[in-house]
Copies of this chain bind each other. A is one copy, B any other.
Amino acid sequence: MQPAMNEVEVKTKAAKAASKKLAYLATDTKNKALFSIADELIANEKTILAANRLDYAEGEKAGMSAAMLDRLLLTSERIQAISSDVRNVAALPDPVGETFEMRTLPNGLQISKRRVPLGVIGAIYESRPNVTVDISILCLKSGNAVILRGGKEAIHSNSALAKVIQNASYQAGVPQGAVQFIESTDRALVGQMLKMRDTIDLIVPRGGAELINYVAQNAAMSVVTGGIGVCHTYVDSSADLDKAVAIAYNAKVQRPTVCNALDTLLVHANVAQSYLPRIATEWGGAGVEMHCDQRALEIIQTLPSLKVVSANDEVWGKEFLALVAAIKVVGSLDEALEHIEYYGSGHSEAIVTEDYAAAMRFLNEVDAACVYVNASTRFTDGGQFGLGAEVGISTQKLHARGPMGLKELTTYKWIVLGNGQVRP
């Protein structure tokens, strides 16, 4: 006897069926659905906040950290902001149907590439409930069905948000089944999702390193991994030190718990004496713990009331996700480039310099998703880059690199129009 299909099987099958119609749904219908979702998030604020309070209370009971609780928390203002993000995505051009590289071959065949959705996207994510909305609307707008598998800690919030999205979008004409939310928190279902390569075209994991590595190693289908950012800022000998202080401060302190925050500060020896005391004082004031190599330590250890320790080998290449930074003095741009190549995770890397040649070498030679001159790495973000929102930040080289928006959820097919051509 055939066993009854479980939740993942039923919902994945429904998503696959919906994806066929979604693939060529009119842009108008998709935008109407997005605007309706934006409205209904506001209209259903009470229900959403009530669900969120359940998660929050359970998180408190379970001893969740203040940072984690803050990530989990929804407020009226945050729902307003999420709703506003949905409107931003609605306002973006529809990537589907874009036709490019069109040409007529000498034999009269007209060939082109047409942008089409990937099909069914599986999202496996943790903690922040806004991810439920972000990924759903990016998938809808790009014509993909989506299977949402959020973390247990936000199950009530995610479920409430998913219901709003489903009701609003189906009423606006999106095919039933396009947005699937896995209600069961059974961990075995994740393993099951990762095997369904015939129905799920792409898995996007969003969360900590453990989740991402588990998904990357176990998924039978394509995965876009990322979100692990070991980010360096290199202060060159020619740097404008005011800029260098502002940039390194911002990159470390403005939001230390995220992947694009600074982890290691590299400082050219020529400016270490003048620069390090300044940034160390600023960082110290913000409570940053500094792990310094020998040369950096000698310069800043005499400053008053700083959390300064001697760096051990493990701090290089470490993603801190906290008010902690590693500091190293380097003898040259080459040494900085070598350090970044060896320890970087290919996410976001910055140089602060007023020297043209140094800026060009850094841009050319650093192999990362986002390479900066004279700006904070904190800008690596789909919203900041004008993509409306992001599915995640890819640190792999194939398919998509850096913040992934609508276009990165599509592929293309070659369209060949003939009038009887055969190959000689």
Residues of A within 8 A of B (CB): 20, 23-24, 103, 105, 109, 111, 114, 116, 118-119, 201-202, 222, 224, 240, 242-243, 246-247, 249-251, 254-255, 363-365, 367-376, 378-380, 384-386, 396-399, 401-403, 411-423
Contacts and interface: CB of A to CB of B under 8 A. Distances in A.
7 contacts: A222-B397, A243-B419, A250-B422, A363-B415, A371-B414, A372-B416, A398-B399
A205 to B, nearest CB: 15
Given A401-B412, A401-B413, A414-B385, A422 B247 contact: yes
A376 B423 contact: yes
Given A385-B414, A401-B413, A403-B414, 4 more contacts: A103-B386, A363-B415, A401-B414, A402-B413
Nearest to A379: B423
A246 B420 contact: yes
A415 to B, nearest CB: 6
Given A119-B367, A372-B418, A374-B418, A411 B398 contact: yes
A398 to B, nearest CB: 4
Q: Looking at A255, A412, A414, which has the most chain B CB atoms within 10 Å of its CB?
A: A414
A367 B413 contact: yes
Given A103-B386, A385-B414, A423 B364 contact: no
Given A20-B365, A250-B422, A367-B119, A373 B105 contact: no
Contact of A364 (B24, B364, B397): B24
A222 B396 contact: yes
A254 B370 contact: no
B398 A414 contact: no
Q: Copies of this chain, how many?
A: 2
Contact of A422 (B378, B417, B419): B378
A384 B422 contact: no
A21 to B, nearest CB: 10
Nearest to A202: B398
A398 B243 contact: no
Most buried by B among A111, A367, A423: A423
A423 B401 CA distance: 21
Nearest to A223: B398
Contacts of A402: 413-414
Contacts of A369: 413-414
A379 B420 contact: no
Contacts of A367: 23, 116, 119, 413
A254 B413 contact: no
A65 to B, nearest CB: 23
A2 to B, nearest CB: 19
A240 to B, nearest CB: 7
B413 A368 contact: yes
B422 A109 contact: no
A97 to B, nearest CB: 10
Contacts of A397: 118-119, 201-202, 222, 411
Contacts of A20: 365
A422 B385 contact: no
A217 B381 CA distance: 33
A278 to B, nearest CB: 15
Contact of A254 (B24, B380, B423): B423
Contacts of A374: 417-421
Contacts of A251: 422
Contact of A379 (B222, B247, B398, B421): B421
